[in-house]
Structure 1
Amino acid sequence: MAAKARARLLALAASAASLVAAAAVLDRAFPPDLSRLETVGTEVVDRSGRTLALLPAPGGVWRFRTAADDVAPVLVETLVATEDRHFWWHPGVNPLALARAALQDLSAGRIVSGGSTLTMQAARLLEPRPRTMRSKLIEVVRALQLERRFSKREILGIWLTLAPYGGNLEGARAGAMAWFGVSPRLLDPAQAALLVAIPRRPEALRPDRHAERARVLRDRILHADGGAMPAQRLRLPRHAGQALSGLLAGRVPASRVATTLDLPLQAALERLAAERMQALPERAALALLVAEPSGDIRALATGGRISLDLTRAVRSPGSALKPFIYAMAFQDGIAGPETRLDDLPRRFGGYAPENFDRGFAGPVTAAEALRRSLNLPAVALLDRVGPLRFLATLRTAGVTLRLPAGADPSLPLALGGAGVTLRQAVGLYAALAGDGSVPALRLRDDDLVARQPFLPPRIAAMVADVLTQPFPDGGRAGVAWKTGTSWGGRDAWALGFDRGFVAAAWVGRPNGTPLPGATGRALALPLLARMFDLLPPAPRVAAPAPALADAARVATARPADGLRLLFPPAGAVLSNDGPVVVRAMGGRRPLTFMVDGAPLPHDPARREVAWLPPAPGFYRVTILDADGAAAHAAVRVR
C-alpha cells in the first residue's frame, strides 16, 4: 500500500514538473509584448529634476515612463485600495474575484464585471484587446507571466505608464500634467482619486467634457467632496522649445533627459523675450542666453516668428570681440589699460576705419578706448597683434570665426568682419569671467565639461576690470559688459558677466536684412540689464592664497621651450639682394610664418623658411605655433 502511495506521489510530482517545464517553455516562446511600455516620449528636466518639456512618443501619444516612486504615495494607495486591495499578496490573479465575475457575466450574458487584478489590467494595457472571455483568459496567462518577470512595484509602473486619460493622454505623468498642471509627485488626494477614476472609461469621464460624471466617481473613490474639477485640458510644458531639437539630435532616444537649465530662470527669460518682442519692429527677432562661467547654460530663449535656435546662428558681432584684441595686446606687452592710444584718422593700406559717430576722440587710454568702443585704437592694436594670429588663437580656444566666402583674415575683424554665434561669444566672455580658459557650453547634464586655454588669469582679470561699469539706465552693479553693432544695423549685441553668470542678448532679423536704428546700446543693452536683474547675487570669491597666486604667475610665464624668433632679430636692417632665412626655435609644430599678415609657403615640419623681400621698406615678421603662441620682429629692408 505504501509503495502504491509513493508511486502516485512520484507520478504527481513528475506531472507537476512536466507542467512547470511546459509552462516555462511556453513562457519563453510567447513572452508578453512590452513594445507599448518601451515606446514612450521624452521628459526633459532641469538641473533640479523639474519638468521643462514633454515630447510625445511616436504617433503623437503623450506617454511617459512612470515608476511607482515617481508619483505621490497617495496615488498608489488610492489605486490599490480601489482597484485591487489584495494586490500585494496574490500571484497575479485573484481566483475568488474571477469566480464572482464569471457568475455575474454568465447571469447577464455579457461581461459586466471584470474581476481583474491590477496585474491583469497591466497585461490588458500592454496588449489591448476587445473585452471577451477569450481576452480575459489571455490576460490571466499574461498576468502570471508579468508576476514572474517583474516585482509588484514594477507592475504598478506598467499601469502608471499606460493607463488611458482621454484622447492621446496615457500614463499618470501625462494625466497629472494635462489635468492639473503638476508633477505626479505633487498630487493631492482629490487629484489622485480622479486619476484612478478616469481610466475606467477614459472618454466618458474626461473632465473637460463630462465633468459631472467624472466628479461623481471621483468623490465616490475619495469618500468625500473633492472640490472643483479641472475645467480644461492644459497645455503640456515645453520650455526652451527652439533648443530641444539640438538637445536631442544625434542621441539615442531616452525617456528622460537631464539638462543644466534652471526652470524658474528659464520661464522668466521666456517671459522677458515675449514682452520685449512687443516693442520690436516687424520681422525682428531676439536671442537671450545665460550661462555660468563653468559653461553650464542656465537659460536661453528666442523671440520672433521663427522656430530656429538663434543662439546657434552665425552673425556679425560688430565690436563685441574687441575685448579679446585688447587682451592679446595686453598679453604681448603691446599695451596696458593705461597706455595712451591715438583715436585719430589713419589709413591701414587701403583701409580707413571710422568711429560710429564719424568723429575722433584724440589721445585716450586703452581702457577708455575699449569702454567707448573706439574703432581706430582697436584696429591699430589688431594690426600689431596680427589678424591671422587673432583668428588662430580663437580657433585654438575652440571658437572658429566664420569669414566671408573667399576672404582672408584682415583688419576689419576688429569691427565684426567675421561671423560668430551667440553661444561662442558667451564662451569667450566666460573666459573673462573665470580663469581665462574658454568652456564648451553645455545644455545636457551628461555632456563632458571641457575647457580650452586662452588667456592668462591676470589678463582676463585686467580686461574684466576695464569692462566693469554701471549700466546707462541703472541696474545691477558690478557687471562687466560690452556691446556690438554690425554694419548696417543688422545685428545688435550686448554681453556681460560677473563672478556668477555670463549673459548675452542679440537683436536683429533672422534673414540678415538691416533693422533701422538698431544698435547694441539701444536695443540689446537694456535687455542685458533686465537679464541681470533676474539673476541671483553673484557669489563672493575670496582673494587667492599666496601659494595659489604664485602658481597662477608660474602658469602664465612663458615656458623654457616657448616659441622664439631667432632670425631676423627685432630692428634688423636687411639687404634686398636675395632671400632671407627666417628661423624659429621652440613652440609646437606646425608653425606658420607670416610677413605683414600674409603667410609664407613652407614645409610645416621645418622651423625655417626662405623669404624674398619684394621691395625696400619696413616689414613685420611673425611666427605662430600650433598653440597660438606668437613671436614678432619689425625689420627694415634697404
Structure 2
Amino acid sequence: MPVTLAETATEVRDRNGRLLRAYPVANGIWRMAVTPEQVDPGYLAMLLRYEDKRFYGHSGVDVLALLRAAGQALWQRRVVSGGSTLTMQVARLLEDGSTGRWAGKLRQMRLALALERRLSKAQILQLYLIHAPFGGNVEGVRAASYAWFGKEPSRLTLAEAALLVALPQAPEARRPDRAPLRAQAALDRVLMRMADASVLSAEAAQSAQQAKIPRHMRAFPQLAPHLADHVTAATPELAQIALTIEAGLQQRLAQLVSETVMRQDPRLSGAVLVADHQTGEILASVGSGGYRDDPRQGFVDMTRAGRSPGSTLKPLVYGLAFDQGLAHPETMIHDGPIDIDGYAPQNFDGRFRGDLRIRQALKLSLNVPVIRLVQALGPARLMSALRRGGAQPRVPGNKAGLAVALGGVGLSLQELVQVYAGLAAGGQGPRLRARIATSYEQMPRLVSKVSAWQVGDILRGLAPPPGAPAGVLAYKTGTSYGHRDTWAIGWDGRHVVGVWLGRADGTPVPGAFGAELAAPLLFEAFGRLGTGFAPLPSAPPSTLRLATAELPLPLQRFDSGKGSGKSDADIQLAFPPDGATLMLVDEGQMTLRIKGGEAPFLVLVNQKPVVTGARRRSIDLSGMERGFSTLTVVDRNGRSDQAHVRVSRPGG
C-alpha cells in the first residue's frame, strides 16, 4: 500500500489519466504522488546502482559502504563518498536533517533501521521518489520530471534519467537553469559510472552525453484551469480527481479560442463548451481566451457567468409551441407591428415580413412571431421548461415577462448547452457532468421527440458561415441587447457545442453579431473534434410532414390573439390528467374528456393528428401503444392543452 508522510499535490486528470492541472502543497512546494511502477525502469536501475547498489540486501545501513567512505576520507583527507543508503537518505529527508556530520549520520542510521522494520523496500523507495530534492521548490521525481522535461517520469531518455539521478546530491548547486556546466558534469559522471558498471553500454552513455540539458524550469500543466478550480473547490477532500475532459481536445480548443480573441477587441474574451449529448460527458471546457490577469479578465470563467442569451432561446419556444399543438413548422404566422400592454417588440433589422411560415420565422430569427408564441404559451411555461432542462434562469424581480424569449433572462453558457443537449438528444437528454465519478442521470423531458426533431430540422437549414459545410449542424446564433454577448450553439448526431464571445465585464462590443463572430468559431470547434460530423437523426415515425394547406385547419394559421392564460372559455383536457399512468385493455382504447374551448376539436398523439373535426367533448381513442405519450387537444381558435401519460397493458 502506498505510503506518504507528507502532503502531495492535488491533481486533476483527464478521462485517459493525463494530467490537466496540479496544485502545489503548502509553501508553494511542488511534490507529487508517485509509485515506483510509474517511473521509468531505466531511471530506477541507475538510481539504485549509483546511490545504493545493495539496497535490497541491507537492513537500512550498508556497513561495507560506510567502511569504504571512512577509508576514502582518511586516505584522501576529504569526503569522497557519503556511504548513505537510500533508506538513510529517506530518513534525512523526513527529518530535514544534515548530511555530513557523524552525529547526523548516527541519527539517520537509527531512523533508517526503524524504517526498514516498519516498511517494505518498495515503500521506502517510494518515499525517496516523492521527497528527493530537485532544485528550487521541486521535490520528488515526478514533479522534477514535469519541471525539467514537461512530462511524466514513465518514459525518460537516458540523459534525462541521469540528470534526475544526479540532481538530489546537490540540487541547488547543479540546477540546470543556473549552473548548466555543473549540471552537465554531474550528468556525465552518472553516465560514465553506469557504463563502468555495465548498466549502460559505452556507446549509449556517450550518445546520452550529447543531449542538451534543459535551461529553464517548465510551467506545470494548466489545461481546463477554470473547470479544475471549480471541481477542486467543490471536493477539497479529494487528492486525485478524474474528469471526462479529453486533454488533446481541450488543448486544441483553448488554442482556437485564444487565437480568435487575439484577432479582435483587446478586451474580448471567449468560451467554448463541448459535451456528448448521448452520455452527458463534458469533453472540453474553455473558460476564457487565456487563464491570466489581463485586460480580457482571463481568470473569469465565462462558461459559468450569467449573461443574456439573446435569441438562443427561440428554438425552445418553438419546440414548446409544437408540443402544445399551437403550431407546426408549416403553420402560417404574421410578422407585423404588435403592442401588448405597451410592449412593442421590433425585429432585429426593424423590418416586418408579413405572413410567413413558422419555419421561416425561426430561420430568420424574427422577434415578433416568437413573442406571439410566448404570449400564447405564457412566459411561466418557458421558465418552467428552462428549469426542467437543467437551467436556473435569473430575471429581474423574479418575474418573467414576454421579453424572456428575446434574452431578457440571465443564463450561463453551461446552462444553455445543457438545455440544447435536451433538444439534441430527442427532447430528453442526460445531465451534463465533468467528473467521471458522477453517474449518468437523465433529465426530465424537455419537449417531445417529434418537436425536438422539427426544431433541429429547421435549424439545420440555416446557412453556414462562408466555407463551412451546409446541413451538418442544427445551430442557432444570438446577440444580446447592446452587443454585449454573442452566441452560437449547435449539435450534430453526437455532440453539442456552445460558444460565447464578449467582454467579461459585460460592456458592449460594438458591431459584434453572433452570426459573424460566434458561428464561425462554432463550426471551427466542431472541426477540431477530430471525429467528423455525426449524422443528424431522421424524423420519428409519428412526425406530421405536410404542406400548410394539408394541415388540420387549426394548424394552418396561428392566431396569437388566443390561448394566453387559462379562463373558463379556454380548452382543458379534463381526462386523463397530466402525469397519469393508464392501464388499457380492449386494443388500447381510452376516452378523452374536454372542458371549455370551442368545437371542432383536433386531437394529436405525439404530435400526430388522430382525430379531426370532433364536436363531442368525449372522444374515444384506440390503438394507444405502451410507453409514454403526449396527448394534445386544440380547439377551433388554436387554444390547446395537453397531458403526458404512461400507457401500460395487462402483463406489462
Using structure 1 for the length normalisation, give the TM-score: 0.78
> Shift of residue 461 of structure 1?
2.1
Is 2:492–2:534's contact at 8 Å kept on the other side of the alignment?
no
User: Which amino acid is the alignment partner of residue 146 of structure 1?
Assistant: L
Aligned equivalents of 1:480, 1:496: Cα separation in 2: 5
Find the counterpart in structure 2 of residue 92 from structure 1.
60
Aligned equivalents of 2:367, 2:83: Cα separation in 1: 82
Aligned equivalents of 1:508, 1:43: Cα separation in 2: 31
Match of 2:333 among 341, 350, 355: 341
Q: Give the root-mean-square deviation of aligned CA atoms.
A: 3.0
The gaps in structure 2 that reach 5 residues or longer are 193-204, 290-295, 543-564, 581-629, 640-652
> Shift of residue 516 of structure 1?
0.8
Find the counterpart in structure 2 of residue 251 from structure 1.
235
Find the counterpart in structure 2 of residue 562 from structure 1.
none
Find the counterpart in structure 1 of residue 281 from structure 2.
296
Q: Tell me the secondary structure at the aligned position of residue 525 of structure 1.
A: helix
User: Identity rate of aligned residues, in percent?
Assistant: 41
1:256-302 deviations in whole A, cap 9, x for unaligned?
22111111111111111221122222322221222211322212221
Find the counterpart in structure 1 of residue 315 from structure 2.
323
Distance 1:583 1:543, change over 3 A: closer
Find the counterpart in structure 1 of residue 618 from structure 2.
none
Is 1:492–1:520's contact at 8 Å kept on the other side of the alignment?
yes
1:106-143 deviations in whole A, cap 9, x for unaligned?
67787653212112212222221123222222222222
User: Which amino acid is the alignment partner of residue 417 of structure 1?
Assistant: G
1:228-269 deviations in whole A, cap 9, x for unaligned?
111222222112223332121131343322111111111111
Aligned equivalents of 2:523, 2:167: Cα separation in 1: 48
1:202-250 deviations in whole A, cap 9, x for unaligned?
0111111222222122122223232211122222211222333212113
Find the counterpart in structure 2 of residue 231 from structure 1.
215
Aligned equivalents of 1:180, 1:290: Cα separation in 2: 30
1:278-330 deviations in whole A, cap 9, x for unaligned?
22223222212222113222122212233111110000001101111111111
User: Which amino acid is the alignment partner of residue 522 of structure 2?
Assistant: L
Aligned equivalents of 1:89, 1:459: Cα separation in 2: 74
> Shift of residue 353 of structure 1?
0.9
The gaps in structure 1 that reach 5 residues or longer are 1-33, 551-564, 573-581, 590-627
User: Which amino acid is the alignment partner of residue 458 of structure 1?
Assistant: V
Is 1:498–1:538's contact at 8 Å kept on the other side of the alignment?
no
Aligned pairs for 1:302-313 within 5 A: 302-303=288-289, 304-313=296-305
Find the counterpart in structure 1 of residue 517 from structure 2.
523
Find the counterpart in structure 1 of residue 598 from structure 2.
none
Aligned pairs for 1:422-433 within 5 A: 422-433=413-424
User: Which amino acid is the alignment partner of residue 473 of structure 2?
Assistant: V
Match of 1:83 among 37, 41, 51: 51
Aligned equivalents of 1:218, 1:635: Cα separation in 2: 84
Find the counterpart in structure 2 of residue 209 from structure 1.
178
Distance 1:150 1:466, change over 3 A: farther
Aligned equivalents of 2:536, 2:484: Cα separation in 1: 42
Q: Tell me the secondary structure at the aligned position of residue 490 of structure 2.
A: strand
Is 2:571–2:634's contact at 8 Å kept on the other side of the alignment?
no
Aligned equivalents of 2:345, 2:575: Cα separation in 1: 34
Aligned equivalents of 1:212, 1:103: Cα separation in 2: 30
Is 1:465 the equivalent of 2:450?
no
**Higher helix content, 1 or 2:** 1
Aligned equivalents of 1:422, 1:175: Cα separation in 2: 38
Aligned pairs for 1:161-200 within 5 A: 161-200=130-169
Is 2:325–2:632's contact at 8 Å kept on the other side of the alignment?
no
Is 1:568–1:583's contact at 8 Å kept on the other side of the alignment?
no
> Shift of residue 100 of structure 1?
2.8
User: Which amino acid is the alignment partner of residue 333 of structure 2?
Assistant: L
Aligned equivalents of 2:638, 2:247: Cα separation in 1: 58
Is 1:316–1:417's contact at 8 Å kept on the other side of the alignment?
yes
Q: Tell me the secondary structure at the aligned position of residue 444 of structure 1.
A: coil
Bigger mean CA offset, 379-388 vs 391-400: 391-400
Is 1:206–1:214's contact at 8 Å kept on the other side of the alignment?
yes
Bigger mean CA offset, 455-464 vs 407-416: 455-464
Aligned equivalents of 2:37, 2:468: Cα separation in 1: 44
Match of 2:443 among 452, 458, 466: 452
Find the counterpart in structure 2 of residue 484 from structure 1.
478
Distance 1:129 1:111, change over 3 A: farther
Is 1:43–1:256's contact at 8 Å kept on the other side of the alignment?
yes
Aligned equivalents of 2:241, 2:452: Cα separation in 1: 34
Find the counterpart in structure 1 of residue 359 from structure 2.
367
Is 1:500–1:538's contact at 8 Å kept on the other side of the alignment?
no
Aligned equivalents of 2:485, 2:379: Cα separation in 1: 22
User: Which amino acid is the alignment partner of residue 299 of structure 1?
Assistant: A
Aligned equivalents of 2:398, 2:21: Cα separation in 1: 42
Distance 1:264 1:104, change over 3 A: same
Distance 1:545 1:584, change over 3 A: closer
Distance 1:435 1:73, change over 3 A: farther
Aligned equivalents of 2:130, 2:335: Cα separation in 1: 68
Is 1:41–1:58's contact at 8 Å kept on the other side of the alignment?
no
User: Which amino acid is the alignment partner of residue 301 of structure 2?
Assistant: D
Find the counterpart in structure 1 of residue 528 from structure 2.
534
Q: Tell me the secondary structure at the aligned position of residue 220 of structure 1.
A: helix
